[in-house]
Structure 1
């Protein structure tokens, strides 16, 4: 896991739509990060989320850290935590379920004590659950398999496996007690990083430079750059470009504006630099992104073998005998 900027809830949008059905509030998703239309922006919701990497490698940002997930790793995101793609999200096929924790409450029986501690944040669940925890991975696999069917009978099975999943988390002690004594230095650093992220979101379309971002948090450019790099793994300019490109993706999908207009609107004064940067982050040019049809590419995009070849080209070449 790598440190990353701490993002507050007011800097990410809240998802509030209905998950699944009223009687079974669980949403299943299959996601392919190599799909140019794929994007998981920073957000938060009142439900829990469980992620399972089927193939490839996926990097997820959760509130103050980046977690690197490999094939068969799990990631648990408790309620109300800001999360989304890391800046370098990797190439992966993963599945996720978003669910109401009330599905598992048993009206004051023993498990409720554990869930109450989770909801009260007196204990903090581990986000990263590596493949080596085979019992937990098996329980998670049963959950995903049951949820896919979306009927009453398998819904009961899914809830049963969810209880087993959380029971195993407790048994393996994959949680920690909350440290209530956050140092003043860390609080200050958190505020500075949060403030500059908010500054970028409000001013990304302007001609920003390192000096502008440093002044936004009253730091010298040299110290600010080091602080930002230490806490995010990326330079301020890298993060700025990443944010601008994601904004450009939205405009390409939702408007008919010309490419040059979109580049200018997103803070790129040099069109060739915009195209080069876009390709760096999305793997294709802006024009191809706009005309990309995910339905036509679905069969190859969700193929785990295809993802493996993209992630390990040198091994694929060796195995082909060329």
Structure 2
């Protein structure tokens, strides 16, 4: 549909979307998207517009402003704004842009993570996938396609992921995350075996100190805490689904003795293994 906004040229288009109540609870979702041609001397100033804005500059340039900064955004760059806060964008020469206002669960967390490292003006090494997805989103609305909300959410997540991957240091974070993922997988396959910090650090080819810090950064738990929780969860499942004795279950889950198993289980679950087995609590 055509915009009625002053300073937006006639060849521009905008499309609005109303997310379902389910989408608002579990997805990222678009609120509106547009392909705009801005006239010289266009200016927008808002105290708030409840959403986050991704705007890809196709031609020309503009200036964006927040309470914290003013910055130029030029061709092939991306403006990323928290529109819940006062913001502006304007030009004296005109520009062309594809853009999307979006919101939803974790939108704030995505914005804060990206903004903390990249700021409000972002340059990608390769714009191909970002522009392809942003164009695909717009064209689907333009063609009145019946897009499913999980797919809309996936498109927006792909856009945000491209921004995250543009951080050079993020490549290191991905490698570190892969290391932790491999160790976590190993832990779950070997819960009945001894799993010391030194052993796991050696398996990850890291020092115990660095491995401990890396593991906690990625999981929120120390290796010891994670292993104990995993063993308790395995024990809870085994208590409910087998006739194995408490002692057998404790050894099966990697505890050194029945007494150490019972002590750890009661501290975590607030009841003994035997009581847990006979209750309806899952």
* Short-chain TM bin: 0.3 to 0.5
TM-score, normalised relative to structure 1:
0.40
> Larger RCO: Structure 1 or Structure 2 (Cα < 8 Å, ≥ 6 residues apart)?
1
Greater strand content = 2
TM-score, normalised relative to structure 2:
0.45
Largest Rg, 1 or 2: 2
